[in-house]
Amino acid sequence: MSASSPDSRPPSIGRRTLLGAAAVATPAVLGVVTPAAAAPSSAAAGPAAASARKKPRALPGGGDLGPNVIVFDPSTPGIQARLDQVFRQQESAQFGTGRYALLFKPGTYHGLNAQLGFYTSIAGLGLSPDDTTINGDVTVDAGWLNGNATQNFWRSAENLALVPVNGTNRWAVAQAAPFRRMHVRGGLNLSPTGYGWASGGYIADSRIDGQVGPYSQQQWYTRDSVIGSWLNGVWNMVFSGVEGAPAQSFPNPPYTTLGTTPISREKPFLYLQGNDYRVFLPEKRTNARGVTWGNGTPRGTSLPLSQFYVARPGVSAATLNQALAEGLHLLLTPGIYHLDRPIQINRANTVVLGLGYATLIPDGGVTAVQVADVDGVRLAGFLVDAGPVNSATLLEIGPRGASRDHSANPTTVQDVFVRIGGAGAGKATTSMVINSRHTIVDHTWVWRADHGEGVGWETNRADYGVVVNGDDVLATGLFVEHFNKYDVQWNGQRGRTIFFQNEKAYDAPNQAAIQNGSIKGYAAYKVGDGVTTHEGWGLGSYCYYNVNPSIVQHHGFAAPVRSGVRFHNLLVVSLGGQGQYECVINDTGSPTSGTSTVPSTVVSYP
């Protein structure tokens, strides 16, 4: 795709490996409220609780962030050399074990180009992105894969202001690569050098003063941000609460534009107050539009690091649970954590924040994380990697039958990613289960691996990606791919999804392997038969049955035919004719055909 012709398509499609179809003021000044320390659980009542409070905690809060959190200030010597060293190690380490967080203290930095490889996060340590300015670039490109950016996963940028050297910053990413709370004083180019394949991506709470150029990006979701302008669209560009977004025009150009986001609460982040680390917890917004930090006065609460158990790789699940039981939150420093039992989150308002793609691996078929039916839990910034013994579930938000009203203080799941296979054989029947009402899933990529180690129709078997049983759940930025059966199964009432990206499993051996009763194939997104109210905007599903291109998928989307179940701007695409769809949703929508890779669309359903 050339810069002069952003709407043209490259000539051919191949597998994803080749393809791409695929100084800080006081809290009072900043409007920050610091809550009291967490109360003891209700089980510790009366004199026993008073006695317990007099005893020192068995586990300390706070502490050093470990060797893989690298902190810079403007006077640090050799910053560029250190950035380059990490990049050389991580550039092509798609399934490696390295994990890094690059943190910049408030101030101004000059002449830097922070190139980001796998499992690398870069972030400023101010309360506002403008507190930390890099005169230079934070770059993601695709030289390691010959200009193909479709595998640029698992990296992030957050809470920085950039003044790009040539006026435009390059951020050529695919899934699981959030760009949050950023201020680009210039333009943003979302494609790799040479305008090769790209398949991302997600922006939130950011300001891009100039133009955003997706070029070859097949799909993108931008939420609660401000942009100067938007250049083009390929298949599915979705905006909610974005000042400067293009007008609604799906399918040509393929823009789905909502004026506001119904409910949002930004991701927690680490910052410095003087010399002390704290974690800022942004407040919930309804009908949100634009950035949260525009006047430099963020709204929310702040917790000192002393209220967090700062975990290091090698710590046991028992110790993590002990810390939670003692009233501490969890800060997971970069690395890999093996779990022989679930992390149990039973206390309202608990924060679990990962740095540098901290990775949880459940061993022996256990679930990695289980959350009780309580208010205001915040899970953010970590990866769950399935183990070789099948887990029934990997992440559970609320127990089965959860029914409490959490509308005033929902649980949020943000930049929490799930992987089955790729780094080695992994199995899980269901990856993510949402049982608690009013949960907000804000940017996830739930992926049954289509390449890497331990990949095969049964080798990394995973039937269901995301199952939503709770009512009133909202998903903003939902990426779910390659599951053996339903990628998303939504059983709860009044669910809403803004942006969905999906590829059906590449590796189905034959038509019989995907047969769903009398229906050819399992829908990418299935709304339960008993659901009476549901709504989705900007949803896309792609098929690439490269093992058996004769496979036919009846539809990408399935839902009961009711006036309260509504969809806006749906598409299905056959990538190069490797398999086909007969319909878009239920029995509606034109079939895909041939090798032209042209989307079939439905603007409104029913």
Total count of residues recorded for the chain: 606
The enclosing H or E element of 243 equals: none
Tokens of 437: 């009402």
- According to DSSP, the residues that pair with 183 across neighbouring strands are 161, 207
Cα of first residue to Cα of last residue in the chain, in angstroms, is 35
Helix/strand/coil (H/E/C) assignment for every residue in 91-113: CCCCCCCCCEEEEECCEEEEEEE
Q: Does 535 participate in catalysis according to the annotation?
A: no
Enter the tokens of residue 493.
């009432």
Q: What are residue 489's phi and psi, to 5 degrees?
A: -125, 115
580 strand-pairing partners: 552
User: Which residues does 29 contact at the CB level (< 8 Å), separation at least 6?
Assistant: none
Among 266, 326, 503, 582, the active-site one is: 503
Contact (Cβ atoms closer than 8 angstroms) between residue 606 and residue 584: no
What distances in angstroms separate CA 548 from CA 461, 509, 518, 577, one per listed residue? 18, 6, 20, 11
Q: In degrees to the nearest 10, what's the CA dihedral of 381, 226, 104, 119?
A: 30
DSSP letter for each residue of 552-586: EES-SEE----TTEEEEEEEEEESTTSSEES-SBT
Contact 361, 339 (CB under 8 A): yes
CB 504 within 8 A of CB 465: no
Q: Are 491 and 453 in contact (CB under 8 A)?
A: no
Burial code (b: 16+ CB inside 10 Å, e: under 16) for 220-258 equals bbbbbbbbbebbbbbbbbbbbbbbbbbeeebbeebbbbb
Active site residues: 503
